[in-house]
Amino acid sequence: MDRFKAWVVEKTETGQALTFRDFDAADLMDGDVTVRVTHSTVNYKDGLAMTGRSPVVRRFPMIPGIDFSGVVEASDHPNYAPGDAVILTGWGVGETHLGAYAERARVKGDWLVPLPEGLDAADAMAIGTAGYTAMLCLMALEHHGARPGDGPALVTGASGGVGSVAVALLARAGWQVIASTGRAGEEDYLRGLGATEILDRAELSSPGKPLAKERWAVAVDAVGSVTLANVLAGTKADGAVAACGLAQGMDLPTSVAPFILRGVSLLGINSVTTPLPKRRAAWARLASDLDRTALAAMTTTVPLAEVDRLAERILSGGVRGRTVVTVP
């Protein structure tokens, strides 16, 4: 196919515009693997890219969409051949390299991961960047030495994409999970994923003390800013917090108190340029450890032509769990 359907972000005099139109394959960027995209997903960063609310897009025109699953159509890479099922997350796709909201993508083979045994393409994008990030958080906490017997695990932004998968993964691994959310109506949903306690996000979203009562042994934080500061303040001695998001903000108004008085560790999670061995290990863990019933409970589906209507909703916290985008 020389032309295919794609969402395209183009620069305008007043900012940017998003259109669903035909795109010429000759205008795809350099790469040694061409993939027929079958599924993508909707992440917070995709919402920013589609709306222009933050300068996520750094090249115009840009096809947004930071992750996809699909089938290799052509390859000059030694590890991939036509017909191979693959996954891509990160590497600037949808930001500096033409992305996933299209019927075709051309990328570097070194960015790809083979679809693990036990997952199909739809499952892979039900997990997507958000679920993959949640697994990296769990792996970082385990590498730190944290174990379920140490105490509860807190998850902030629990009804969002990263949070939903983190709740399910931690519960499956044996942790008592405290799920923090601002959506009062999501208690049944979160308990269904494995949460044993629901915490109103209002308890964490306003400035607090440098040190608070020790309440959780570990945490997965996708919110940042004041929330992350309060999470650190409430973490038990020698506990750890995996930080992977900035829904509330990029700032961190905290003090050294949790670090030098309780020995709390702050573990940064980079899901964009993760080295391939860790990337493949995370996907293998997701294929084996993530409960499929929980995954199905947190997943909805939209066709590619309608993905734009979710951009503002995900930024305002109106999207629950995971959304799979089906590509014709």
Could you report the per-residue pLDDT of 115-131, keeping only the tens digit for each?
999 999 999 999 999 99
Q: Encoding tokens for residue 111?
A: 């960015």
Percent of the chain with pLDDT over 70: 100
The answer to whether residue 183 scores a pLDDT higher than 90 is no
Q: Is 211 exposed, middle or buried (0-12, 13-18, 19+ CB in 10 A)?
A: middle
Q: Which of 271, 313, 254 is nearest to 42 (CA)?
A: 313
Element (H, E) at 38: strand 33-41
Torsion, Cα 158 163 167 170, to 10 degrees, reads -140
Q: Which of 321, 305, 328, 310 is nearest to 128 (CA)?
A: 321
Q: Parallel, antiparallel, or unpaired for β 33-41 and 67-75? A: antiparallel
CA–chain centroid gap for 42, Å, is: 9
CATH number at 129-268 = 3.40.50.720
Q: Parallel, antiparallel, or unpaired for β 322-326 and 299-303? A: parallel
Contact 321, 44 (CB under 8 A): no
Q: Which CATH superfamily is domain 3-115+298-326 in?
A: Medium-chain alcohol dehydrogenases, catalytic domain (3.90.180.10)
In this prediction, residue 54 carries a pLDDT of 87
Q: Which of 212, 211, 231 is nearest to 220 (CA)?
A: 231
Instruction: For the chain, give the mean pLDDT.
Output: 96
| 304: confidence class by pLDDT, cuts 50, 70, 90 | very high
CA–chain centroid gap for 298, Å, is: 14
Instruction: Give the residue carrying structure tokens 């996954």.
Output: 87
Measured CA to CA in angstroms, residue 251 lies from 49, 203, 226, 228, 282 at distances of 21, 18, 8, 9, 28
How do residues 195-250 score in pLDDT, each as one tens digit?
999 999 999 999 999 999 999 999 999 999 999 999 999 999 999 999 999 999 99
Three-state DSSP class for 257? helix
- The residue-averaged pLDDT of 24-48 equals 96
In this prediction, residue 285 carries a pLDDT of 97
| 160: confidence class by pLDDT, cuts 50, 70, 90 | very high
Instruction: Round to whole Å and give the CA distance between 235 and 151.
Output: 10
The secondary structure of residue 184, as a DSSP letter, is G
Instruction: Round to whole Å and give the CA distance between 25 and 267.
Output: 41
Neighbours of 31 (CB within 10 A): 20
In this prediction, residue 318 carries a pLDDT of 87
| 1: confidence class by pLDDT, cuts 50, 70, 90 | low
Could you tell me the maximum CA-CA distance found in the chain, to the nearest angstrom?
Answer: 62
Partners of 177 in the β-ladder: 153, 195
Instruction: Round to whole Å and give the CA distance between 102 and 125.
Output: 15
What are the boundaries of each domain within the chain? 3-115+298-326, 129-268
Q: Which of 133, 127, 31, 119 is nearest to 72 (CA)?
A: 31
